[in-house]
Chain A
Amino acid sequence: MKTHHINEKGYYGEYGGAYIPEMLFPNIDQLKEQYLEIIGDASFQEEYQQLLRDYVGRPTPLYFANRLSEKYNTKIYLKREDLCHTGAHKVNNTVGQILLAKRLGKKRIIAETGAGQHGVATATVCALMGMPCFVYMGEIDMKRQAPNVARMKMLGAEVIPSTSGSKTLKDATNDAIRDWINNPEETHYIIGSVVGPHPYPDMVARLQSIISQEIKLQLQEKENRTQPDHIIACVGGGSNAAGAFYHYLDEENVNLIAVEAAGKGIHSGESAATSQLGKNGIIHGSKTLLMQSKDGQITEPYSISAGLDYPGVGPMHAHLFSSKRAEFLSVTDDQAMQAGAELTKLEGIIPAIESAHALAALEQKKFQPDEVVVINLSGRGDKDLETYMKYFDL
């Protein structure tokens, strides 16, 4: 059967794999050999589900957005990942990975972060489990996202500035990988998105797949069907989209819509629309689409949203793009900011600017009045208040 899931060699079509230095081989190999067994284990699932319920606050609601639906003359549901503890879907993954790290006998946790959401979600579960936590963050991002740096510190994590290269997310990821090379025995690296060497993209997708699992049950209750007509999610590295799409990947009558950040415009030179601007290559151990120079040097992306400015996409998304299983749209800074303001006014929900990109797809697509559209509202906008204030002169 044709499938859009990962194959036994760790590839989605031609994308994925593990292009890693030999120094990382023992750790990646151990993960590859054990992740399915650990995640599938009954005691793991029991602990994971219990934490998702009692600590994260799941299931998150599937909310029928009445006024938004009226405006766009279709049936719009919002999957409320913004109501998760710590304010975004990122914590679904970190809860799972910290339980996995414990079962692997690891004693020390490292992570990378861009905007700080994954860093906060990692620092949170490390506090919960009493594990030492080291978060790499680009020096420039640390200045842009000072409140999240403070949250991580309060949670007991050490935030280490990345000063190499462009001093942003990709460099923080490089530094986390270097830390793992230097500390191969007792450290687990919690990657925050569906990127990196196999098995990370699949592991993170599975830990985020709770999102689409819940959508199915909730739609059954509300619409008496498990499938929406369309699911819309924003894509930086692509973890919230992977979670929202996961259980629908092989249900081809469900239209998957991935929304990338066009920044100041796809051809402005300041964009993060990887599917439009990228070419096949290797980034952070994975063969995927990435933004790069003609010479194969990785270029720095731009978006007003700090969570979407990654120069690649996860290999699952590269495959969904090239196989045309998903439709890829791109949304500019301005369009996203307007969509964020609109949701706030119509529904009383201030979305993260990442999620506002998904909402902005409503202006680009025309849906039928009886179609069911699910938008994954991946995070809340508290962290973006300063950007909203500046943009709208509040």
Chain B
Amino acid sequence: MNRISHKLQENKKLLSIYFTAGYPQLDDTKTILEKLEKSGVDLVEIGLPFSDPLADGPTIQASSTQALKNGMTTEKLFEQLEDIRETVSIPLIIMGYFNPMLQYGIEQFCKKCAEIGIDGLIIPDLPLEVYTEEYQAIFQQYGLQNIFLITPQTSEKRIREIDEASKGFIYMVSSASITGAKNSFGDAQEAYFERIDQMKLQHPQIVGFGISNAETFDKATQFAKGAIIGSAFIKHLTENGTQNINSFVEQIRKSN
């Protein structure tokens, strides 16, 4: 069974962490992954940096720009991850924009992911319709789960379609925003979390965008299966390098 599906069956709220590969230093990828696993993180999204990340806020943009300056490429990332399954066993997802994957060759990209032991992909600018028509068969052939996003503006009909096409979990964007824009949840978000919960979808939801500490993690996971932290972790890396990852994770987890 795919590691993501397996993880989703565990009876706990899941903490997922995003970081940009090649940041702060080009060769930090493996160290960060190993430390995240040791700290008890449940799944990780490895960001493949892109020159024009149009769904991301300033924090992730800046980390992508720096990672590219450091020399990160798709090829380089695959090299760094070559032996990752010898030391890391939690589910790993690559999150990136579509153009670098297209240039690598989609089939080639999926094949490489499968060889390394990547479990899923999140591609914000690959829409549902294009995926199902052109790429679903390839993704499935290589055992990769494609994770879709939903937002507070997504219609109920479309959420059902996305649920139908999903494997693993649904990435629930907490509010109408780019990444790192907000750091607390109001009544509108809570009502939205509850509304989605009541739809009783086939796939569990993991909330992303706007989660930065124990309080927002707890609120997000009140209804959802888990939550994803991105920008706040990038800020931690900016300030501490790869040090103290354990204490960053502990802080988030303090009430669970």
**B176 interface residue (CB < 8 Å to A):** yes
List, in ascending order, chain A residues with CB within 8 A of B126's CB.
19
A220 to B139, CA, bound (A): 56
Among the listed A19, A178, A296, which residue makes an inter-chain contact with B74, where contact means beta carbons less than 8 Å apart? A296
Among the listed B54, B62, B149, which residue makes an inter-chain contact with A178, where contact means beta carbons less than 8 Å apart? B54
**B52 interface residue (CB < 8 Å to A):** yes
| Docked-complex contact B176 and A297, CB < 8 angstroms | no
| Docked-complex contact B98 and A19, CB < 8 angstroms | yes
A23 to B83, CA, bound (A): 35
B window 145-175: CB within 8 A of A: 148-151, 153-155, 158, 173
Which listed segment binds B: A199-207, A231-239, A282-290? A282-290
List, in ascending order, chain A residues with CB within 8 A of B153's CB.
23, 25-26, 184-185
B window 110-133: CB within 8 A of A: 124-128, 130
Among the listed A17, A280, A297, which residue makes an inter-chain contact with B50, where contact means beta carbons less than 8 Å apart? A297
A296 to B73, CA, bound (A): 9
B131 to chain A, nearest CB (A): 11
Known contacts A20-B125, A20-B127, A25-B154; is-contact A298 B54 (Cβ 8 Å):
no
Among the listed A23, A164, A292, which residue makes an inter-chain contact with B176, where contact means beta carbons less than 8 Å apart? A23
| Docked-complex contact B124 and A21, CB < 8 angstroms | yes
**B61 interface residue (CB < 8 Å to A):** yes
**Cβ contacts A161-196/B at 8 Å (1 or 0 each):** 000110000110010011001111100000000000
| Docked-complex contact A21 and B125, CB < 8 angstroms | yes
| Docked-complex contact B127 and A178, CB < 8 angstroms | no
| Docked-complex contact A281 and B102, CB < 8 angstroms | yes
| Docked-complex contact A23 and B57, CB < 8 angstroms | no
A125 to chain B, nearest CB (A): 25
**Chain B contact residue count (CB 8 A cutoff):** 43
**B51 interface residue (CB < 8 Å to A):** yes
List, in ascending order, chain B residues with CB within 8 A of A363's CB.
none
Among the listed A18, A181, A297, which residue makes an inter-chain contact with B127, where contact means beta carbons less than 8 Å apart? A18
Known contacts A18-B127, A22-B148, A298-B51; is-contact A181 B177 (Cβ 8 Å):
yes
**A393 interface residue (CB < 8 Å to B):** no
Write the chain A residue with the least CB distance to B98.
Answer: A282
| Docked-complex contact A178 and B99, CB < 8 angstroms | no
List, in ascending order, chain B residues with CB within 8 A of A296's CB.
50, 74, 99-104
| Docked-complex contact A297 and B150, CB < 8 angstroms | no
| Docked-complex contact B54 and A22, CB < 8 angstroms | no
| Docked-complex contact A295 and B178, CB < 8 angstroms | no
List, in ascending order, chain A residues with CB within 8 A of B196's CB.
none
| Docked-complex contact A22 and B173, CB < 8 angstroms | yes
Write the chain B residue with the least CB distance to A175.
Answer: B54
Known contacts A22-B149, A23-B149, A181-B176; is-contact A174 B54 (Cβ 8 Å):
yes
A window 78-96: CB within 8 A of B: none
**Inter-chain contact total with CB atoms closer than 8 Å:** 111
List, in ascending order, chain A residues with CB within 8 A of B74's CB.
295-296
B218 to chain A, nearest CB (A): 25
| Docked-complex contact A298 and B148, CB < 8 angstroms | no
Write the chain B residue with the least CB distance to A290.
Answer: B99
**B201 interface residue (CB < 8 Å to A):** no
A window 313-342: CB within 8 A of B: none
| Docked-complex contact B55 and A295, CB < 8 angstroms | no
A164 to chain B, nearest CB (A): 5
Known contacts A174-B52, A178-B54; is-contact A17 B130 (Cβ 8 Å):
yes
List, in ascending order, chain A residues with CB within 8 A of B62's CB.
164
User: Among the interface residues A21, A26, A283, A299, which one has the most CB atoms of the partner chain B within 10 A?
Assistant: A21
Write the chain B residue with the least CB distance to A178.
Answer: B178
A68 to chain B, nearest CB (A): 40
Write the chain A residue with the least CB distance to B177.
Answer: A182
B24 to chain A, nearest CB (A): 18
Write the chain B residue with the least CB distance to A183.
Answer: B176
A279 to B103, CA, bound (A): 9
A331 to B83, CA, bound (A): 50
| Docked-complex contact B127 and A25, CB < 8 angstroms | yes
A104 to B102, CA, bound (A): 35
Write the chain A residue with the least CB distance to B101.
Answer: A296
**Cβ contacts B47-61/A at 8 Å (1 or 0 each):** 000111111111001
B196 to chain A, nearest CB (A): 14
| Docked-complex contact B52 and A283, CB < 8 angstroms | yes
List, in ascending order, chain B residues with CB within 8 A of A19's CB.
98, 125-127, 130
A181 to B101, CA, bound (A): 23
List, in ascending order, chain B residues with CB within 8 A of A143's CB.
none
A164 to B128, CA, bound (A): 28
**Cβ contacts A295-307/B at 8 Å (1 or 0 each):** 1111100000000
List, in ascending order, chain B residues with CB within 8 A of A183's CB.
176
| Docked-complex contact A297 and B55, CB < 8 angstroms | no
List, in ascending order, chain A residues with CB within 8 A of B84's CB.
none
With A22-B154, A298-B51 given, can you name 14 additional A-B contacts, CB distance below 8 Å?
A: A18-B127, A21-B54, A22-B128, A23-B153, A26-B154, A165-B61, A177-B54, A183-B176, A185-B153, A280-B102, A281-B103, A285-B125, A296-B102, A296-B103
Sample of 29 A–B contacts (CB below 8 Å): A19-B126, A19-B127, A20-B127, A21-B54, A21-B55, A22-B151, A22-B154, A23-B177, A23-B178, A25-B153, A25-B154, A25-B158, A26-B153, A165-B51, A170-B52, A174-B52, A174-B53, A174-B54, A181-B177, A182-B177, A182-B178, A279-B103, A282-B99, A284-B54, A292-B99, A292-B103, A294-B103, A295-B100, A296-B50
9 nearest CB pairs, A to B: A296-B103, A296-B100, A22-B149, A297-B51, A21-B124, A21-B55, A296-B99, A282-B99, A26-B153
Residues of A within 8 A of B (CB): 17-23, 25-26, 164-165, 170-171, 174, 177-178, 181-185, 279-285, 292, 294-299
